[in-house]
Amino acid sequence: MNVLDEWIKAAAAELGLSATDVAPAADAAPGSTDVAPAADAAPGSTDVAPAADAAPGSTDVAREAPSATALVLDVARDVAHNVVRPGAPISTYLMGLAVGRGADPADVAARLSELAKSWPTGDR
């Protein structure tokens, strides 16, 4: 197992996510970045459901809560600098999964940053 795989496994476990949460869907094309459409989306639509705390009609929480952007960027920085660079976008994806399931963004960010900062340096 390489460093990136180890990081994904550890970060997912830290956030209470299972392997099926981070593995691509069985029916997804290789390299696919498809996301599940919103429950009320028209067939074939690529609209994504807005966050529960987003303003009505909004699908961009980061624009409405600049602190959310800072949290995401801080996690990406900590992972890229302390674990492995390709882990940064994956970590922010895991962060989004956890927050989308009701976790507090600041708590998730703190947990991932702490895990990244304590990552063994010999593994890189």
pLDDT value, residue 67: 85
Q: Is the pLDDT of residue 39 over 80?
A: no
1 or 93: which leads in pLDDT? 93
Closest listed residue to residue 119, CA positions, set 98, 91, 89: 91
pLDDT value, residue 20: 79
Tell me the average pLDDT across 43-53.
49
Express each pLDDT in 53-103 by its tens digit.
Answer: 555 554 554 454 558 899 999 999 999 999 999 999 999 999 999 999 999
pLDDT band at 32 (very low <50, low <70, confident <90, very high): very low
User: What span, in angstroms and rounded, lies between the C-alpha atoms of 29 and 89?
Assistant: 20
Q: Is the pLDDT of residue 19 over 60?
A: yes
